[in-house]
Amino acid sequence: MKEFFEKPYTRSLAEGLELKGRKKNGSLFWIEVGLSPVSVEGETLVMAVVTDVSKKKDAEIKLEQSYRQMNNLVNNLPGIVYQCRNDQYWTMDYISPACEQITGYAQKEFYGSPSNISYADLIVAEEREEIWGQVQESLSRKVPFRVTYRIKDKAGEHKWMWEQGVGVFDEQGAVLGLEGCIFDISPLIKNQEKINQAIYTAEDKERRRIASDLHDGVQQILGASSLNLKFIEKDVDKLSDKVRKHYQKSLSFLDEGIKETRNIAHRLMPKEVEQLGFDSAIEQLLVELKNNLGIEVSFYNNLQSRLNSEAELGLYRVAQEAFNNIVKYSQATHVSIQLIAIDDEVQLMIEDNGVGFDKNKIDLYSNGFGLSGMKNRIISLSGQLTVDSRPGRGTSIIAWLPKNLMKDGAAN
């Protein structure tokens, strides 16, 4: 108070002091006291204005508590909370501190113009366009979006992200930005990879057993039966026309049965994949496409060494299912397949020039195209699979696998 009189405020009222007062009934309440010096006949007096600010103070306390609770919640979530712009960089207006633990980049590195790093830069290049399309499609319908994708963190490690968010719109319906949360689901994916790999290993083992039984059992019996029938072929002319026709038909059925069991055994577990490698097995599929359907085919491989057996078989199954879809739906006249090494990944790309489809109007992984099985098999190998298609512009299926699945990691 002494300082107040010695250095009086030049304003008419001093800044209010928030204090607690006691009412007549003994209860406490918040007051704001405004002090101002007043000179009366050469004597300095003080004018005090006392205001009951209980409602204002209670609101401030509640707001502060709410902010603290929200801040504690955000800072303790095992994921990223964000607010960003709807641009190709996903420019961050706010990103929670968990970003550093998940991405390796601190909050401040996502801010500024230009920022040191954009969140879009972290998403692996081959998935950015698909994620952008999924988010924009949800925004156009004003519904929450949920996307799963991979990022490459500051240390160069790939991580799986699960993101859910919503659009923020103005009164005219224009998108102002996005708000949402992002969680690192890499441990879940790795566990699922192990489960899927165990399932596919068991399936392939059973396929191998059935193929072996067909080859060593059924085919041998059918082959022996055919030989026995052919052994008496010289005596067939002695038979009546009716019996001779039955004989010839039976022999034809046996030959067809031998051929069909051989094909089934091959489809179940093609020996080319295990014995000669992916190239030979794929070339056999392409020959069948060309000879049986007249589809022009091309195949390119720049790998200098083979992939391990699980990877080769996984890619073969993807190609096998893709070719089935091409035959059933595409009306394609040309199919191209490439197996190439790019940076630290191996990429299998299967393209056709068929009728294509609008991938935004169908659920790719639950429509009977076999894509769910294809994707799960690739994920079980720590890879990723994407599908791109447009009406009248064909379809592309791309599978990525880590290069460490190559037997010696070499590539052109």
The domain segmentation of the chain, as residue ranges, is 2-72, 77-184, 187-269, 275-412
pLDDT in the model for residue 131: 92
36-40, 139-143, 226-230: which is most confident:
139-143
Q: Any idea which residue has 């076999």 for tokens?
A: 370
The amino acid sitting at 156 is G
Q: Is the pLDDT of residue 85 over 80?
A: yes
Inter-residue contact 412 to 231 (CB < 8 Å): no
Buried b (16+ CB within 10 A) or exposed e, 331-354: ebeebbbebebeeebbbbebbbbb
CATH superfamily to which 275-412 belongs: Histidine kinase-like ATPase, C-terminal domain (3.30.565.10)
Phi, psi of 379 (to 5 degrees): -60, -35
Question: In angstroms, rounded to a whole number, what is the distance separating the alpha carbons of residues 365 and 321?
Answer: 13
What angle, 0 to 180 degrees and rounded to 10, lies between the N-to-C axes of helices 309-325 and 186-213? 80
Question: In angstroms, rounded to a whole number, what is the distance separating the alpha carbons of residues 348 and 303?
Answer: 11
DSSP 308: P
Inter-residue contact 352 to 313 (CB < 8 Å): no
pTM given for the model? 0.55
Domain 77-184 has CATH 3.30.450.20: yes
pLDDT tens track for 153-199: 999 899 999 999 999 999 999 999 999 999 999 988 888 777 777 77
Environment class of 224 (CB within 10 Å of its CB; exposed 0-12, middle 13-18, buried 19+):
exposed
Report, at the CATH architecture level, how domain 2-72 is classified. 2-Layer Sandwich (3.30)
pLDDT in the model for residue 12: 41
77-184 and 275-412 in the same fold = no
User: 270: pLDDT confidence band, cut at 50, 70 and 90?
Assistant: low
Which of these ranges, 16-20, 31-35, 159-163, 369-373, has the smallest mean pLDDT?
16-20
How many CA within 13 A on the CB side of residue 385? 23
Higher pLDDT, 126 or 216: 126
- What CA dihedral angle connects 208, 209, 212 and 213, to 10 degrees? -150
